[in-house]
Amino acid sequence: MSISPASFFLSSQPSRAIARLLTVLTLTSAAHSGLVAAQVLPLPPVPSNIVNISASGFLEVPQDWLSMSLNTTKEGPDAATVQNQLKVALDAALAVAKSSAQPQQLEVRTGQFALYPRYTAAGKINGWQGSTELVIEGRDFARISATAGKIQTLTMGNVGFSLSRDAQQKLEADVQALAIERFKTRADAVTKGFGFTGYSLREIAISSADPRAMAMQAKAAMSDAPVSVEAGKSMVNVTVSGSIQMR
């Protein structure tokens, strides 16, 4: 029996159509099965036995950094005259201060400088006025106050106390360690209080408050006697807060 090419072509068309239909049905069924499976997947369990707690630590330490500003104001008929007067006064003060300078113990720097005209009621310039400032600062309070007392060309401005950079960094590290230990102690106590044997950390946040500093001001003509100064204290507060899961 022989089959002509034409009859084979006609008989093969339905088979191919059926094959394609079966493929489409198979893919559709598979996709639907996957979608159903995805829809029925169990949700992750809701965390339980979660407690939010916080603990703080703070320390006070004596301020170890003294800053004194000395200044003067001059007047004159023209800007050049006033500027020269300010320069003479500042140079003389710098010479005295630099003779006692020592890194970290007594450091010297110039501060603000201003020069501006004065006006009449008619709006015309009738003179010039200016001011200059010298700052001496450091850890050696006795040396700084004695040096300030020797400066005759400037008068006392502001006196302020603070922490040096090294002392500030050490204080913050010590207070943070204290706050963390208090947080851990409280977490242990809360866990045992609820009848659990341990816990795991979930979230932690650490915040700190700026140190509280004391300062004083003085307005007086300088004399050869040392300036009396007394430092206060600085306090840093660190808070550790977060959540734990008891188990």
* Contact indicator for 130, 73 with CB cutoff of 8 Å: yes
Specify the pLDDT at position 113.
95
CA-based nearest residue to 197, from 187, 208, 207: 187
In terms of average pLDDT, the best of 13-17, 105-109, 162-166 is 105-109
Q: What is the mean pLDDT of residues 54-77?
A: 94
- For residue 77, pLDDT over 90 is answered with yes
Q: What is the mean pLDDT of residues 36-63?
A: 82
Give percent above pLDDT 90 in the chain: 68
The domain defined by 62-161+212-232 carries CATH number 3.40.50:
no
CB atoms near residue 179 (< 10 Å): 23
Sheet containing strand 199-212, edge to edge, reads: 50-62, 233-246, 199-212
Q: How confident is the model at residue 215 (pLDDT cuts 50, 70, 90)?
A: very low
Exposure letters 125-159 (e unless 16+ CB within 10 A, then b): eeebebbbbbbbbbbebebbbbbbbbbebbebbbb
pLDDT at residue 23, as a whole number: 60
Mean pLDDT of the chain: 83
User: Which pTM does this prediction carry?
Assistant: 0.66
Residue the block writes with tokens 């600062």 = 137
Mean pLDDT of 69-88: 96
Q: Mean per-residue pLDDT for 163-187?
A: 94
Domain boundaries, the chain: 1-41, 50-60+169-210+239-246, 62-161+212-232
| 68 confidence band (pLDDT: 50, 70, 90) | very high
Confidence at residue 22, expressed as pLDDT on a 0 to 100 scale: 56
